[in-house]
Structure 1
Amino acid sequence: MGNPTDRLTEVPPPAPIKVGNGGSAGGYEFSPDEVRGVISKWKELLTDLQTDLSNANTIAEVKPPGQEFASGDFVNRAAKVSGETLQLQHQRMVDYVKNYIEALQKAAGIVEENEDEQHKNVGGYQAV
């Protein structure tokens, strides 16, 4: 049995997100009202993933139960490498979810700015 291999070299960027008129087309689209619920769900997922990452950190730091060769060999060769791969993959999931939440918030923020601009320009004049 070989060591686990992690072939992913970086966290992929979030898909394009459009909220109302803000953000980028070509990916997910949300109304300004529903995006808050979506952000809330992603934050719940982030909390769960952070707990999983904490558990993966514990696994990656496993110590052999005794000083004999078999325990040390197992920990150093199989358990440690598997734990570190698990840890790395969970960290990448946490990073991806954080990036996605930021992208959702940015798209939602752009919508709010556009609405503010529309209110300022109502009636043919621009407020100062």
Structure 2
Amino acid sequence: MVNAAVDGGGAAIGAAAGGMIAVAAPAVAGAPAPSSGGYKFSREEIDDVIRQWEDLHGKLLEDRRTANYMIGVRPPGAEPASEDFTASANPSGTAFAQALEKMIDYVQRYIQALRNARDGITTREDESQEHISNVGSGVMEV
């Protein structure tokens, strides 16, 4: 099993065995530390999982563009009702944009952890195959 533990955004890849990839949730600055749990994926599933997270990332980027409209709300007129609404809407839009930035950061880190796990198992398998190929080399044939 390949274990990908993320600590502060850096990934540590464990040893390969069994064809499963385990990925822990990434740490995000200012957020509580993630639990010690994680997810396990087969090698066949990992690319599909990465695509799903990349799709989510794209949707969050679209939401960020929409949030900019919420931040820039202007009153249609110079009267108290419009100005009061704008005074409430702009901070709400700002809070939404800040939450989106944290989600985007989390998703980017998680995608990187998944890629590191996938690439780590491929590297380990290549190294294992090379080691197996070298076993017996240098032995005299009779």
| Bucket of the pairwise TM-score, normalised by the shorter protein | 0.7 to 0.9
> What CA distance in whole angstroms lies between the structure 1 residues aligned with 2:116 and 2:68?
31
- Local SS of the residue matching 1:28: strand
Number of the residue aligned with 2:74:
63
Could you tell me how far apart the structure 2 residues matched to 1:48 and 1:38 are? 16
Tell me if the contact between 2:23 and 2:113 (Cα under 8 Å) persists in the aligned partners: no
Q: 1:101 to 1:24 in 2, by over 3 A?
A: closer
More helix by share: 1
Secondary structure of the corresponding residue to residue 66 of structure 1: coil
Q: 98, 106, 125: which is aligned to 1:96? A: 106
1:80 aligned to 2:90?
yes
Moved runs in structure 1, 4+ residues, more than 3 A?
16-26
Q: 1:15-94 counterparts in 2 under 5 A?
A: 20=19, 26-76=37-87, 78-94=88-104
TM-score under structure 2 length normalisation: 0.67
Shift of residue 33 of structure 1? Answer: 1.4
TM-score (normalizing by structure 1)? 0.74
Q: Runs of 5+ in structure 1 lacking a partner?
A: 1-11
* 1:101-116 paired onto structure 2 within 5 Å: 101-116=111-126
The structure with more strand, counted as a fraction of residues:
2
State percent identity of aligned pairs. Answer: 37
* Distance of 2:136 and 2:127 partners within structure 1: 11
Report if aligned partners of 2:20, 2:41 keep a CA contact under 8 Å in 1.
no
The 5-angstrom pairing of residues 6-17 of structure 1 reads none
User: In the alignment, is the contact (CA less than 8 A) between 2:67 and 2:96 conserved in 1?
Assistant: yes
Amino acid in structure 1 at the alignment position of 2:53: W
1:121 aligns with 2:127: no
The 8 Å contact of residues 22 and 39 in structure 2, kept in 1 or not, is answered as no
Measured against aligned partners, the alpha-carbon deviations of 1:63-121 in whole angstroms (never above 9, x if no partner) come to 11112233223212x11111111111111111111111011001111101101101110
Q: For CA contacts below 8 A with separation 6 or more, give which structure has more relative contact order.
A: 1
Query: Alignment length, in residue pairs?
Result: 112
